[in-house]
Structure 1
Amino acid sequence: MHSMWQLLSPTALLLLVSAGTHADPPKSVVILDPPWDRLLEKDSVTLKCQGAYPPGDDSTEWRWNGTLISNKASSYSITDATVGNSGEYTCKTGLSAQSDPLRLEVYKGWLLLQAPRWVVQEGESIRLRCHTWKNITIQKVQYFQNGMGKKFSHQNFEYHIPNATLKDGGSYFCRGIIKNYNLSSEAVKVTVQGSKSPSPILSFFLPWHQIIFCLVMGFLFAVDTGLYFSVRKVLRSSKEDWRNGKVTWSRDPQDKGG
């Protein structure tokens, strides 16, 4: 039993190291500056790639709708955006995996509702911005949720909800006066998700599931190894006894012949 545990420890460690070695690298992340994923024509935005880079090498692979972009810098700038700039953007650094796609939409029009995030958790903030083409002055701005007025301002102030609840989710749009025209943006859905706190017991044990698996595999490997050497030892001993003439034969007491 003692030798079995001696075999178990290095085997389990080897499996743990192997599992960590073959883990997938973390994904790169595309960040927007400013943080709006909905733009009007003539707007500008910079896409930044966050990830791990090799020492002295910050070259980045950018893709637009799956097509490789010639830009190799860690950031990609779009100035005077057009509808043609709409699409999914991904990036990849030298030591990180390809990012999840970030969807950028560019619209024609005078007024647009913007937000850094359209899906938030309960307790997080909701930030809405009534944006105009080329930042033209807008007056008497009003925000609506599910058709009901929520905030009114004489200037283009943002609408901010510091601690969102489920009732803050819904369809939002803004309205205001631009050059004596009363204009409205398109409605956009804001989703507030309920908090799902994991069980404390599950949170404690969850990180150990891979370790337990590796220990079990190591134990089975040790048992298999022990059985292998035990059988091998018995067979070798029997073979040596045969060669040395140590095999004895017993005679049946009733056999009196010869």
Structure 2
Amino acid sequence: MGVPSVLPLPAAASGQVGCPPCHPWGHLLLLCTALLFLAPAAGTPGLPKAVVSLQPPWLQVFPEDNVTLSCQGAHSPGDNSTQWFHDGTAIPTQVQPSYSFRASSNHSGDYRCQTGQTSLSDPVHLDVTSAWLLLQTPRLLVPQGSPIVLRCHSWKNWRLYKIQFFQDGRPKWFSYTNASFSIPHANASHSGAYHCSGLLGQMQHTSQPVNITVPASIAKDTDTAAKAEVENTITYSLLLHPEAPEEDAAPSDYQNM
């Protein structure tokens, strides 16, 4: 008698047709269900992205500074919960649209959020740093024409004076008491590593540099190029003259340079 070309399946394995012996259909269904539950963490096609915002808006903070993260996005009817992720790991204890904490070194990293009617947000990176001085900014990638906003923040908000801001090591702006500095209309020439320095008591301190990028745009014609050059000249004029509107809050003291 010849050997049959197809052997009958054992009764106990009749539900495993087309599957490896070690993976019955029940296990595969559980695996598929688990993957479906994990899918929202990678974003849901067709839904708008949620947006994470910071209050105060600074990406760099000291330990013990207060930080509030807010998730902006629509919720499903009857479900107002929000999913929060820190460095890709879900934070199961946080389900509210706002997430507040007193910063510690463990809070450094990327934060994302998602609601019932949004896909996963882009990451917002928070740096928690221990130092005497910290250069703070709300964003590291600045579109052309948007402002660059900088703040020289002292440890525990101790009184800081004779404050200087630098771009790529070159002095950019000086004030006796004003710890904030802005460039109203950024262009590609404003990309670089920024840092600040100042006096705390009788001691001079310097922050670590922060890299800010303003992507270059290609001028379509000579009029566009000329306009960019005019904006560049106006921006530097504002920086060089303390009577410019952006410095009304605290005029510069250039005699101390």
> TM-score w.r.t. structure 1 length?
0.65
How far apart in 2 are the matches of 1:195 and 1:28? 28
In 2: Cα distance, 1:90 partner to 1:106 partner: 17
Match of 1:75 in 2: 98
Q: What residue ranges of structure 1 are gaps of 5+ in the alignment? A: 1-21, 199-258
Cα distance in 1 between the residues matched to 2:204 and 2:63: 20
1:27 CA displacement: 1.2
User: Could you say what secondary structure the match of 1:57 adopts?
Assistant: coil
2:166 corresponds in structure 1 to 144
Distance (Å, rounded) in 1 between the aligned partners of 2:205 and 2:163: 10
In the TM superposition, what whole-angstrom CA distance separates every residue of 1:13-70 from its partner, at most 9, and x where no partner exists?
xxxxxxxxx9521111111111111111111110000111123432101111222211
2:112 alignment partner AA:
T
CA distance in 1 between counterparts of 2:178 and 2:64 reads 19
TM-superposed deviation, 1:196: 5.8
8 Å CA contact 1:42, 1:133 repeated in 2: no
Please state whether the residue corresponding to 2:214 is helix, strand or coil. Answer: strand
Paired position in structure 2 for 1:62: 84
Please give the secondary structure, in 1, of the residue aligned with 2:198: strand
Hey, what's the Cα distance between the residues in 2 that align with 1:51 and 1:66? 19
**Equivalent-residue separation in structure 2 for 1:197 and 1:57 (angstroms):** 48
Give 1:113 deviation, angstroms. 0.5
Identity between Structure 1 and Structure 2 (%): 44
Q: Does 1:171 align with 2:200?
A: no
2:106 to 72, 75, 84: 84
Matched residues in 1 for 2:211 and 2:109: separation?
19
Q: How does 1:38-187 map to 2 (within 5 A)?
A: 38-69=60-91, 70-79=93-102, 81-187=103-209
Give unmatched runs, 5+ long, in structure 2.
1-43, 221-257
1:36 & 1:113 partners in 2: Cα distance? Answer: 9
Work out whether residues 41 and 133 of structure 1, in 8 Å CA contact, stay in contact via their aligned partners in 2: no
Return the structure number with greater helix share. 1
Structure 1 distance, partners of 2:99, 2:211, is 28
Distance 2:179 2:97 in 1: 33
How much has 1:112 moved relative to structure 2? 0.5
Which one of 164, 171, 192 corresponds to residue 214 of structure 2? Answer: 192
Q: Which amino acid aligns with 1:55?
A: P
C-alpha displacement of 1:95: 0.9
* Structure 2 length-normalised TM: 0.65
| SS at structure 1 position matched to 2:179 | coil
Deviation at 1:179, TM superposition (A): 2.1
- TM-superposed deviation, 1:164: 1.2
Question: Cα RMSD between the aligned structures?
Answer: 1.8
Is this contact kept in 1: 2:54–2:69, CA < 8 A? yes
- Partner residue in 1 for 2:7: none
Would you say the 8 A contact 2:153–2:179 is kept in 1? no
Give the whole-Å Cα distance in 2 for the aligned partners of 1:87 and 1:71.
16
Residue 51 of structure 2 corresponds to 29
